[in-house]
């Protein structure tokens, strides 16, 4: 299998998530592994910048019609009483809550996500930061910025009708599970150079970006990105690489 470089993926994915209810469209399938610590890459330093808003946790924003755009600062160690959080769906526990959940049925999602680092344990006994973004009819763009000491993250994106673009931090070390049902997979030069193909199975193209670990008891702990696209391309690049006009194009599409 060849790592895609603006070339069409031969994989046609498994059936996309059912968007008919919140239980399926707003929550992620369980990750392939449960990260505990994020392996650092020498020379990669991401200091914590001043933010426009205070960090929060277990943030959920959903819309039937309209766009979701902004900066979201997530501190996965922040404890928030369950009474202040959205009600759990049947069969869900507090552990299953996403640290960030953004979903719109008819609109675009553009999210700059900052993950705050801390030596404190993650709230709800979680082992990694979980992020879920989705749109039934719209484009999804996600930029992930972990600050020093941030826990590993698991990012899930679903778009039925729209392109998905993911900007990863240079510290990303983990798997990409990409399923464009009717579209292409495109890697930037930086991602292409840092990744290796692991095959296509379960309807997904699987790649590993970063330092591939050896076999270890209990599995490897790190980051993971899972993208399902029904009708649209999937693009992956680093946050410091040119976006080739993605931001301005999205702005024209949704009036930013």
Q: What is the pLDDT along the chain (256 residues), one digit of tens a residue?
A: 334 444 333 333 333 333 344 444 444 443 333 333 344 444 455 667 788 889 999 999 999 999 999 999 999 999 999 999 999 989 999 999 999 999 999 999 999 999 998 888 999 989 899 999 999 999 999 999 999 889 999 999 999 999 999 999 999 999 999 999 999 999 999 999 999 999 988 778 999 999 887 655 555 579 999 999 999 999 999 999 976 644 444 444 433 3
In sequence order, which residues have a C-beta less than 8 Å from that of residue 15 and are 6 or more positions away?
none
d(C-alpha 136, C-alpha 122), whole Å: 31
d(C-alpha 218, C-alpha 124), whole Å: 21
pTM above 0.75? yes
Nearest to 132 by CA among 9, 224, 238: 224
Q: Are strands 174-182 and 204-209 parallel, antiparallel or unpaired?
A: antiparallel
Domain extent listing, the chain: 56-85+96-211+221-254
3-state SS record for 215-244? CCCCCCCCEEEEEEEEECCEEEEECCCCCC
Asked if residues 250 and 139 have their Cβ atoms less than 8 Å apart, the reply is yes
């Amino acid at each position: 299998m060849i790592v895609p470089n603006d070339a069409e993926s031969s994989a046609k994915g498994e059936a996309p998530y059912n968007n008919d209810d919140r239980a399926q469209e707003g929550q992620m399938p369980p990750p392939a592994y449960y990260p505990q610590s994020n392996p650092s890459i020498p020379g990669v330093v991401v200091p914590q910048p001043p933010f426009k808003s205070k960090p929060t946790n277990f943030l959920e924003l959903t819309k039937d019609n309209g766009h979701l755009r902004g900066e979201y600062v997530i501190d996965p160690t922040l404890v928030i009483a369950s009474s202040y959080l959205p009600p759990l769906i049947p069969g869900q526990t507090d552990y299953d809550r996403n640290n960030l959940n953004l979903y719109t049925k008819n609109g675009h999602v553009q999210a700059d996500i900052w993950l705050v680092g801390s030596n404190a344990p993650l709230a709800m006994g979680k082992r990694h930061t979980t992020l879920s973004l989705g749109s039934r009819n719209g484009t999804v763009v996600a930029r992930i910025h972990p600050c020093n000491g941030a826990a590993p993250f698991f990012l899930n994106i679903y778009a039925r009708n729209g392109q998905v673009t993911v900007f990863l931090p240079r510290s990303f070390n983990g798997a990409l599970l990409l399923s464009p049902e009717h579209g292409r997979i495109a890697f930037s030069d930086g991602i292409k150079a840092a990744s290796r193909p692991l095959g296509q199975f379960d309807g997904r193209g699987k790649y590993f970006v970063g330092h591939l670990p050896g076999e270890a008891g209990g599995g490897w702990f790190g980051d993971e990105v899972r993208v399902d696209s029904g009708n649209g391309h999937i693009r992956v690049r680093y946050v410091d690489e040119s976006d080739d006009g993605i931001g301005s194009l999205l702005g024209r599409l949704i009036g930013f």
